[in-house]
Each structure stands twice: as C-alpha cells, then as structure tokens.
C-alpha cells in the first residue's frame, strides 16, 4: 500500500494511476503495518516517523528537494528514496529569466515611478524623461550560472542569445559540456563571480551548498551585481547578508523564489523583508520575492503529480525507478 502523507486535497490524479493501492493522511484509521511506500510533499519524514512503518521500503518525493527526509536513517535502514526532477523545468527557467529581465531593465521601478507621476505630476520631471534608473543593456552583460543541470541548462540555452557572455560553474558536469551550452566554463567559483554581473543559482540543497550565499560570497561578487535564487532557500545563509549586500551597493537587485524560512515571519524583524514590503523605500524596488511558485503552471502541477504517482506505483511493484537518491 502507498501512503500519501500530506498537502494533496483532491486525489483524482493519484487515484487514476494508483487505483485502490493508496491511502492518505485524510483517513482517520490507518493500518501503518501495510504501508510499503510513502508519497511525500512537505511532511517531515524523520526517524520517529519512519519507525511507525515497519514494512516501508520506498519513499517518493513529489518534488526535487529531499531535505525534509532523513536520508541517513533511510540509508542505514535500506529504505530507498526517490525525487521527481523531471517536471516544471521550463516554468522555473522562465521565471528565472523573467526576474533577470525585470530587474535588469528596472520594470518594477518604472512601473512605480509611473504611478507617482500620475498621482503628482512634476513639470520639471516630465513623463518620458524619467530615466534616473540605471538599466542594463544585456548584450554587454555576462550571466553566471551556478549549476547547469536540467534547469540551469534550460536558462543557459534561452539566455545565450540575450547576454554577451554566458558563464557557468558546475564541477559535476562532464568536460566538454560547455560546448553543448555554448558557454564559458569556470573551474572556480571566485573566477565566475569576478567575470559575471548577474549570478543565478540552480543547485540542490545539500551539505556542500547549505548556506552558500553568505557574506563572504556576496563580497566576492562584482559591485552592482544582480543575484537570483530559484533553487532552494537553504542555500541562503541569512537574509541579513542579502540586506547588507543591497544596502552597500554590492548587489544592485535581488530575485528570490525561495527563502530560508517558508513562510517567512515578520516577527523576526528581518530588515530585508521590511524593506521589501515598505512603500517608498529605496530598496523595495530592488527586490522581487515570489512564494516558491516558480515551478507552477497547471500543466507542470499535473505532470508532477502524475510522475510521482507512477514512480510510487513502480516502487510498490518493485519495478525499475529512476532518480534514486539512496
């Protein structure tokens, strides 16, 4: 039996694929001794949780990240873990590019400026002459990608005719992959930062990448750089380092689809969030934050659930399943 642990409210998609082979968190009575596969969204799957399922042999994540699953415990207890990376690639790469273009061309700033001019026209500063923001000519800019897996590669292929130079750092792709992308490969992160005015992250969250965006990282970037993160919130060490980067001018602008804590809490008095929310704040126009939705379109959402359910069914029947983590 497959157990859907959380989040899904209507099981029509799963039922079409799994038939009677699943139960869900909505059921009041559940015989955990019959559960062999978990199908997981956001639920925290730790040692305590897993001990309740004596016959469990597989866990399938609806999404890409597996940081909500105790991988070490699963490895020690021979529980296989699979993720689902083959959906929403275009959606995430398109969102990344939209953020880059919007921030580089100051779309948000000019939108707000236009509202100000309509509310209080200024004769000395007429409508069409409001060019006081420094916008980018992308054909003179270098884009640096950290990670060129499915999504990073999609961004690269879409952006290579927009920017002057396409750069990347990824020690895990084979030599020669730079020729496939038509990009410049850098073997050190420092060199990538030195040679790129826009930095975009496309990496998984693991021990190597956790807290990767920190004060030291930002200080190595070019002045007035654009920073984009549509990968994982945990690669951000703290929102303070981003706020300091914007305040100092090291960062010209910032685009985030993910945060270290989701949903964020204003009770912590994070200056970055306070500045972003505030109207008429000099930093607010420099920040775009989305609520972890870059993956989403109706098509990708359906695709994600169909693929995850199919993987879970194959796990149940001991068939070959790709994207094994452990």
171-184 confidence digits (pLDDT tens): 999 999 999 999 99
0.85 surpassed by pTM:
yes
Residues 211-215 have a mean pLDDT of: 97
292 noted as active-site residue:
yes
Same domain, 277 and 140: yes
CA distance 246 to 244: 5
More confident residue, 230 or 67: 230
Same domain, 275 and 301: no
CA distance 71 to 324: 12
Catalytic residue chosen out of the listed positions 61, 185, 202, 232: 232
Q: Is the pLDDT of residue 23 over 70?
A: yes
Q: Which two tokens stand for residue 293?
A: 């939705």
Same domain, 68 and 166: no
The secondary structure element, H or E, covering residue 154 is: helix 150-159
pLDDT in tens, 90-122: 999 999 999 999 999 999 888 888 888 887 766
Same domain, 272 and 140: yes
- Is residue 63 situated within a structural domain? yes
Same domain, 95 and 34: no
Same domain, 170 and 305: no
Q: Could you check whether the bond before residue 263 is cis, i.e. omega within 30 degrees of 0? A: yes
Lowest mean pLDDT among 100-114, 127-141, 279-293: 127-141
Strand locations in the chain, DSSP E?
A: 2-4, 22-24, 37-40, 58-61, 80-82, 142-146, 165-169, 184-185, 198-201, 225-229, 251-256, 287-289
- Is residue 29 situated within a structural domain? yes
Same domain, 273 and 127: yes
Same domain, 73 and 202: no
Q: Which two tokens stand for residue 74?
A: 């699963």
Domain count along the chain: 2
Same domain, 148 and 43: no
CA distance 254 to 246: 8
User: What domain range is 58 assigned to?
Assistant: 2-86+297-316
pLDDT at 123: 60
215 noted as active-site residue:
no
Same domain, 123 and 261: yes
User: Helix or strand or coil: residue 225?
Assistant: strand
Same domain, 267 and 154: yes
- Is residue 225 situated within a structural domain? yes
CA distance 187 to 170: 8
The secondary structure element, H or E, covering residue 288 is: strand 287-289
Q: In what order do the strands lie in the sheet with 287-289?
A: 184-185, 165-169, 142-146, 198-201, 225-229, 251-256, 287-289
Same domain, 69 and 100: no
What CATH number is associated with residue 126? 3.40.50.720
Q: Is the pLDDT of residue 281 over 80?
A: no
CA distance 229 to 97: 11
Strand partners, 261: none
Catalytic residue chosen out of the listed positions 27, 44, 262, 282: 262
């Amino acid at each position: 039996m497959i157990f859907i642990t959380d989040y899904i409210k209507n099981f029509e998609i799963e039922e079409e694929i799994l038939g009677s082979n699943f139960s869900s968190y909505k059921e009041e009575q559940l015989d955990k001794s019959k559960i062999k596969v978990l199908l997981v969204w956001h639920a925290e799957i730790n040692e305590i949780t897993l001990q309740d399922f004596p016959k469990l042999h597989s866990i399938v994540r609806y999404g890409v990240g597996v940081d909500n699953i105790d991988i070490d415990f699963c490895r020690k207890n021979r529980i296989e873990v699979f993720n689902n990376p083959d959906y929403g690639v275009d959606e995430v790469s398109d969102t990344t590019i939209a953020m880059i273009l919007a921030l580089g061309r100051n779309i948000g700033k000019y939108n707000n400026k236009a509202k100000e001019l309509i509310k209080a026209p200024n004769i000395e500063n007429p409508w069409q002459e409001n060019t006081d923001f420094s916008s980018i000519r992308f054909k003179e800019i270098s884009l640096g990608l950290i990670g060129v897996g499915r999504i990073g590669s999609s961004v690269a292929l879409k952006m290579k005719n927009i920017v002057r130079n396409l750069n990347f750092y990824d020690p895990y792709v084979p030599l020669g992959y730079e020729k496939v992308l038509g990009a410049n490969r850098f073997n050190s992160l420092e060199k990538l930062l030195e040679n790129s005015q826009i930095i975009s992250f496309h990496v998984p969250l693991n021990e190597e990448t956790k807290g990767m965006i920190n004060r030291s990282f930002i200080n190595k970037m070019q002045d007035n750089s654009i920073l984009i993160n549509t990968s994982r919130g945990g690669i951000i060490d703290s929102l303070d380092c981003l706020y300091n980067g914007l305040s100092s001018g090291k960062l010209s602008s910032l685009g985030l689809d993910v945060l270290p804590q989701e949903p964020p809490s204003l009770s912590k008095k994070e200056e970055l969030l306070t500045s972003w929310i505030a109207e008429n704040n000099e930093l607010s126009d420099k920040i775009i934050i989305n609520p972890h939705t870059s993956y989403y379109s109706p098509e990708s959402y359906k695709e994600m659930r169909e693929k995850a359910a199919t993987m879970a069914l194959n796990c149940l029947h001991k068939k070959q399943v790709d994207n094994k983590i452990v």
